A = this chain, B = another copy of it.
């Protein structure tokens, strides 16, 4: 288990080597899911906490008439389902976008680690709160931005999140979402996503092919999307905290 995975948790609090080792010790059991399969399904009583190790996943909600939304994405370093301690049944599904490797944590063991290591509990709480902030921004994105800016905004968010876990390479990163996925995440039609994407490309804001995203001028895309990185709470506050007290 690569400790690099816990980088995301350290934005808020630096974890000590022991904290990370304790987490790693209970994250040994992994599971691999094929692309497009469910990790957890709506209605299930959840049994494990998952940590994404490799690949992308999405949280989806479905309407009785078949309409589906993707309401969150998970990239490496993201925990899903920290809420299982409390919620009785899943109100959404989590499915793999790509082939997905996750660590499967036993709730009891995680609880044990948290009770002994206040930094870990803080880090996980921070993780959840940022998740909630992202969700609010998505609501805002769907409610307030037209298609062009809305898609641009999603690109910026995902790019910055990938960058925060060192998964970008200069101005590019993996980007496994299909146009159909983008449609479900933005509340648009696949056809309209396609056309909007073409304008974004024509305007030189993004390149997207073969599951690879290139953003030649990030600042320009940020401006277009009216993106305010506030909500990602990426500032390295953790840097100020000593990990060894």
> Considering residues A86, A230, A237, which has the most beta carbons from chain B within 10 angstroms of its beta carbon?
A86
Q: Does A63 contact B (CB under 8 A)?
A: yes
User: Which B residue sits closest to A138, measured CB to CB?
Assistant: B139
Contacts of A92 in B (CB 8 A): 136
Total A residues in contact with B, Cβ cutoff 8 Å: 48
Q: Does A46 contact B (CB under 8 A)?
A: no
From residue 170 to 212 of chain A, which have CB atoms closer than 8 A to chain B?
Answer: 184-187
From residue 198 to 245 of chain A, which have CB atoms closer than 8 A to chain B?
Answer: 226, 228, 230-231, 233, 235, 237
Copies in the complex: 2
Contact of A129 among B69, B87, B228, B230 (CB under 8 A): B87
Contact of A63 among B69, B144, B230 (CB under 8 A): B144
Contact A133 B230 (CB under 8 A): no
User: Which B residue sits closest to A59, measured CB to CB?
Assistant: B136
Contacts of A68 in B (CB 8 A): 144
Contact of A136 among B63, B71, B129 (CB under 8 A): B71
Q: Which of A15-23, A25-33, A120-128 contacts B (4 or more CB under 8 A)?
A: A120-128
* A interface residues, Cβ below 8 angstroms from B: 12, 59, 61, 63-65, 67-69, 71-72, 83, 85-89, 91-92, 122, 125-126, 128-129, 131-133, 135-140, 142-145, 184-187, 226, 228, 230-231, 233, 235, 237
Can you list 14 A-B pairs with a CB-CB distance of less than 8 A? A63-B226, A64-B226, A68-B144, A69-B143, A71-B140, A71-B143, A72-B136, A86-B129, A87-B133, A91-B133, A91-B233, A128-B128, A132-B132, A138-B139
